Amino acid sequence: MNANTHIAKAMEIHLGKLFAELPPRPEFAQGIRRAPARHFNLSRKDTELALKNALRYIPEKWHETLAPEFLEELMTRGRIYGYRFRPPGAITGRSIDEYQGQCIEGRAFQVMIDNNLDFEVALYPYELVTYGETGQVCQNWMQYRLIKRYLEVLTREQTLVMASGHPVGLFASRPEAPRVIITNALMVGCFDDQDNWHRAMALGVANYGQMTAGGWMYIGPQGIVHGTYSTILNAGRAKLGIPADQDLAGRLFVTSGLGGMSGAQGKAVVIANGVGIIAEVDYSRIQTRFDQGWIDQVTESPAEAFAAAREYQRNRKGWAIAFYGNVVDLLEYAVHHDVKIDLLSDQTSCHAVYEGGYCPQGISFEQRTELLRSGHAGFKEMVDATLRHHYELIKTLSDRGTYFFDYGNSFLKAVYDAGIRDICKNGENPLDGFIFQSYVEDIMGPLLFDYGYGPFRWVCLSGRNDDLAKTDRAAMECIDPERRFQDRDNYNWIRDAFKNRLVVGTRARILYQDALGRMKTALKFNEMVRTGEIGPVMLGRDHHDTGGTDSPFRETANIYDGSNIMADMATHCFAGNAARGMSLVALHNGGGVGIGKAINGGFGLVLDGSEQVDEIIRRAIPWDVMGGVARRAWARNEPSIETCIQYNELRKGSDHITLPYLADERLIGNLVEKAFAKHK
């Protein structure tokens, strides 16, 4: 067997080099949310394996001290986080100039990682969870330390390989290649399920990257405000008959969740000028959104919440009301008192429904945390019972005229898993979809993704407000508000973005744009970097987009040619972005809907003002979006076919998309009917 001294000598980068002495046991700041204990159910043999796995990062001289400490973390928290290696105090995404590095990309990624772990940004910063209950930057603080060091020494001749939070190492590549390639939780098909994933996480071999947490591109809840604003505004237009040039004045939107992404709902409804009631069981999350100004009023009873809503609806004034309590209690009240709700959704973390993402009715948030720690089996029963009741209430409200949509949190799937078969269109299984549409099927898909509109985003790496204001103005100039109503909404969004005080963490912005709109904006920004008007910029996008994500319960819910169960598109998007030289590429399993239910990917591109980056923008940004539009066109989605026809014309000689011939429905219907009749 190799001796550890021998192994240590073979590495330039390891914790023994970074720390002369074992760092002291950490102190945890008061008032910072902590991840609930994840249920510990490893066998004795697996527990030994998990310990040995974590100790792979630790020089032998510290094994005796750390082995019992890691065991305690594992048995009490369900994971080994290696708290001792967390830098003490607050972590925050600072200006890029304050980071060490051999290349601009290495320094830029450090800004992004630290922003993902900021107390203000992250959901459970001590446990490296950025958002979505379980979405982590990496698994533990040992990995964090090593990643940071690797990024400091990374050169333009190398690529850092990241496998589920573990930095595999630096490998020689070339300046035009990505500087970091990330994968998270990619499990082999037959093991790609909850139980194996839970075990793999506890063993320390898998990281739940969610979407942008593990891809280091999370920019706080602003990222989702724009999508939520577009969704509810367009839901109003599509389902409540509101004209395309008007907003949600006088309308009531009821939902739940004020967490990482769901926390955007209050702000979004006010920007759309509607009234929102958002149920939340965790008071600390209400407090965060209230302090931030994204919630206008906090109420403690359904009666108080609906009374306040009525007043603001009457005055046609945008207003965000938090209801401190369970969403099921809120809906029960609405059903019993015949309250008219226009739009209804839910944003509890149903992708992790039994891991704390969904609080059962009848218990407090604190009691659910305690139950999670101690009584997992009983807890599941309670969750299922609440989900079934929740479903019945929604059905009643929907029968009375409320428009309900699934918000991409796997709510409908969770209800199905809780035993409700009626929720399936075919009354048996989700293969033909659910009786309620998801927001992508009804709204985001046909109105935005099919055209290529998606959540383009950027971070001003200088950290200067001024840079953000300049990029906002430049992005606005790249939009023609007269082209389509989507462009007008996007134009209005970016025009008012600064005023709406959307930034939490780094100076970042999100803007829905189509393929060529994104390219134009990116080229403009790179030029501004080149001329010194602004500092360097990190471009990226949410994975929740046209092309990056295969997710039949969400992003690809409006794919109806049977290919919604395939993950070729997301994989190609990832590979194609790597081939075209994005600075960072990421591919994950799971995301917002849960393990095994989606493959999603994203990118990061550092704008350094160079002409080489101009070239990458021209090749990679249209690909990143149009790969998705092409797939949607092939699935016969009308707006995508139209978009691809225009694209083929515009990019003649460089790009060419295969388009589908459309079969006559009657021809096919009659033919198959006759054939089946004969067959019988």
Ligand X SMILES: NC(=O)c1ccc[n+]([C@@H]2O[C@H](COP(=O)([O-])OP(=O)(O)OC[C@H]3O[C@@H](n4cnc5c(N)ncnc54)[C@H](O)[C@@H]3O)[C@@H](O)[C@H]2O)c1
Binding of residue 279 to ligand X (CB under 6 A):
yes
Instruction: Considering the complex, state which of residue 259 and residue 274 has its C-beta at the smaller distance from ligand X.
Output: 259
Q: How far apart are CA 54 and CA 48, in angstroms?
A: 10
CA dihedral 630, 631, 637, 641 (to 10 degrees): 20
Q: Reduced to 3 DSSP states, what percent helix, strand and coil does the chain have, rounded to the nearest 5?
A: 45, 15, 40
Residue 151 Cβ, how far from ligand X at the closest point, in Å?
A: 26
Stretch that binds ligand X, among 95-103, 125-133, 237-245, 425-433 (CB under 6 A): 125-133
Residue 645 Cβ, how far from ligand X at the closest point, in Å?
A: 29
Stretch that binds ligand X, among 63-71, 189-197, 276-284, 459-467 (CB under 6 A): 276-284
- In the list 54, 146, 154, 350, the residue contacting ligand X (rule: CB under 6 A) is 350
Instruction: Considering the complex, state which of residue 259 and residue 639 has its C-beta at the smaller distance from ligand X.
Output: 259
Nearest in space to 62 (alpha carbons), one of 120, 8, 117, 109: 8
Tell me the number of residues near ligand X by CB under 6 A: 34
Q: What is the DSSP letter of 453?
A: -
Sketch the per residue contact string, 621 through 660, with ligand X: x for CB under 6 A, - otherwise: ----------------------------------------
The full length of the chain comes to: 680
- In the list 83, 253, 407, 449, the residue contacting ligand X (rule: CB under 6 A) is 407
Q: How far apart are CA 23 and CA 585, in angstroms?
A: 33
Instruction: Considering the complex, state which of residue 140 and residue 600 has its C-beta at the smaller distance from ligand X.
Output: 600
Give the β-pairing of 180-184 and 584-589: parallel
Instruction: Considering the complex, state which of residue 159 and residue 348 has its C-beta at the smaller distance from ligand X.
Output: 348
Nearest in space to 621 (alpha carbons), one of 637, 609, 604: 604
Give the β-pairing of 343-344 and 403-404: parallel
Stretch that binds ligand X, among 141-149, 240-248, 289-297, 349-357 (CB under 6 A): 349-357
Binding of residue 123 to ligand X (CB under 6 A):
yes
- In the list 164, 326, 462, 583, the residue contacting ligand X (rule: CB under 6 A) is 326
Stretch that binds ligand X, among 281-289, 513-521, 596-604, 655-663 (CB under 6 A): 281-289
Greatest alpha-carbon pair distance for the chain in Å reads: 81
Binding of residue 184 to ligand X (CB under 6 A):
no
Strand partners, 587: 183, 601
Binding of residue 406 to ligand X (CB under 6 A):
no
Structure token digits, residue 392:
């019945």
Binding of residue 541 to ligand X (CB under 6 A):
no
Residue 269 Cβ, how far from ligand X at the closest point, in Å?
A: 13
Nearest in space to 404 (alpha carbons), one of 253, 233, 272, 592: 253
Q: What is the DSSP letter of 651?
A: T
- In the list 178, 204, 257, 455, the residue contacting ligand X (rule: CB under 6 A) is 257
Instruction: Considering the complex, state which of residue 123 and residue 295 has its C-beta at the smaller distance from ligand X.
Output: 123
Q: How far apart are CA 113 and CA 192, in angstroms?
A: 27
Give the β-pairing of 343-344 and 252-256: parallel
Q: Compute the radius of gyration of the chain from its Cα atoms.
A: 25
Stretch that binds ligand X, among 88-96, 346-354, 421-429, 452-460 (CB under 6 A): 346-354
Residue 378 Cβ, how far from ligand X at the closest point, in Å?
A: 17
Binding of residue 281 to ligand X (CB under 6 A):
yes
Q: How far apart are CA 118 and CA 129, in angstroms?
A: 10
Structure token digits, residue 10:
């073979």
Instruction: Considering the complex, state which of residue 407 and residue 491 has its C-beta at the smaller distance from ligand X.
Output: 407
Instruction: Considering the complex, state which of residue 110 and residue 347 has its C-beta at the smaller distance from ligand X.
Output: 347
Q: Decide if 251 contacts 258 (C-beta within 8 A).
A: no
Structure token digits, residue 377:
């089996």
Binding of residue 273 to ligand X (CB under 6 A):
no
Give contact residues for ligand X (rule: CB under 6 A): 123, 131-133, 224, 227-228, 256-262, 279-282, 285, 326-327, 347-351, 357-359, 407-409, 544, 592
